Structure 1
Amino acid sequence: MRVMTTYKVGVIADTHVPEFLAELPASVAQVFAGVDLIVHTGDITGLEVLEQLGKLAPVKAVKGDHDKLDLPLQLVIEIGGVRIGAWHGRRPRWQEFPSLLFNTFSSRYHSWGGFQRQAVRRFRLVDVIVFGHFHRSYIGWQQDVLLFNPGAVYHPTHENIQSRLVITRYPWQRLYLRRALLRPAGVPTVGILTIEDGKVHAEVVPLPTVL
């Protein structure tokens, strides 16, 4: 009888500690208990986040647009016979701006602005691509590649948005933040990739529901 080995990979994005959050929520450790690997897809902002995660499992991380840490912009990880590409997800502003503008005013539909195709083109011969940046979870397929965004640990609060409005110089950022004031706060989430016999299952886990 062939015994199948199961691997679990914790995926986390957009922690923004200590930039916008004082510390990593304790429930992250509960969700990631027993994982074989943790992948942080950027906007970490503080080395203490990686040190804290490293106490739970080996950590791989990529650099986000808010990070000043010495990290790669993208990498490929192999585990359980599966190749995982990791990238924060930020593109040149001219590529991002149309979907950003649409998403600022739309409350029902989120435009990815061709992101899925661009993500697949960045990597060769991977089975999964994990990313962050959008502060929005996503599970989907593009050309037989699983695309997975676990969502964000940090979501803007009313108080945080007000403080950022005071220091923001760019009109389009002020518009985005003002629109964000009208929306309910997002739910902090992380993700779990379960790998068994070369097959991958992705799950988004809301942090507030973990006790």
Structure 2
Amino acid sequence: MKVGVISDTHGLLRPEAIAALEGCEQIIHAGDIGSQDIVEQLGAIAPLHIVRGNNDVDAEWATSIADHLRFDIEGWQVLLVHDIADVPALLDDSVKLVVTGHSHKPLIEWRGNTLYLNPGSAGRRRFKLPVTLALLEVSSDAMEPRLVQLLE
């Protein structure tokens, strides 16, 4: 299963991001979405798992969106939360994929049997950080993430 992972759009869904997410069977957005319009555009591509980011908390359109989610993809337990600082209080041994955003810094790191994935920011460039999202190939016995650079 192909899963798109995106974060920190901050109200900007680039055409390059839409193109990269085409063909995904699910999309995960790790917060700082920025607008209901982005939720609708992503939802038109594939079913969505989303959380609020710190910049979404006070937005009226985001009041029904959770601060963290746990769900299953192909038998893998996923924890989705915007800020990695919130992970320790929510983590247990059943979680095999932790998806975060917030820092705008892409990260793919295995910690024991758990994959930590931050797709970076797909929104406006911040400092000199790359503009990225991640694609994740998931099967019942493997997860293979890769970063996709959206801008040079």
The structure with more radius of gyration: 1
- Aligned residue type for 2:38: V
Q: What TM-score do the two structures reach when normalised by structure 1?
A: 0.64
Structure 1 residue 52, shift from structure 2 partner? 0.4
Structure number having the greater helix percentage: 1
Structure number having the greater strand percentage: 2
RMSD (Å) for aligned C-alpha atoms: 1.8
Distance in 2 (CA, whole Å) between partners of 1:85 and 1:57 is 19
The equivalent of 1:75 in structure 2 is: 69
The equivalent of 1:199 in structure 2 is: 142
The equivalent of 2:103 in structure 1 is: 134
Distance in 1 (CA, whole Å) between partners of 2:132 and 2:40 is 20
The percent of aligned pairs where both chains have the same amino acid is 29
Query: In 1, are the aligned partners of 2:101 and 2:118 still within 8 Å (CA)?
Result: yes
Query: In 1, are the aligned partners of 2:76 and 2:140 still within 8 Å (CA)?
Result: no
Q: Deviations over 1:77-123 (max 9, x none)?
A: 212111111000164xxxxxxxxxxxxxxxxxxxxxxxxxx625522
Mapped pair 1:13 → 2:2: no
Between Structure 1 and Structure 2, how many residues are aligned? 146
Structure 1 residue 76, shift from structure 2 partner? 1.0
Structure 1 residue 198, shift from structure 2 partner? 2.5
Mapped pair 1:122 → 2:90: yes
Distance in 1 (CA, whole Å) between partners of 2:108 and 2:17 is 20
Mapped pair 1:61 → 2:50: yes
Q: What TM-score do the two structures reach when normalised by structure 2?
A: 0.88
Moved over 4 A (4+): none
Gaps of 5+ in 2: none
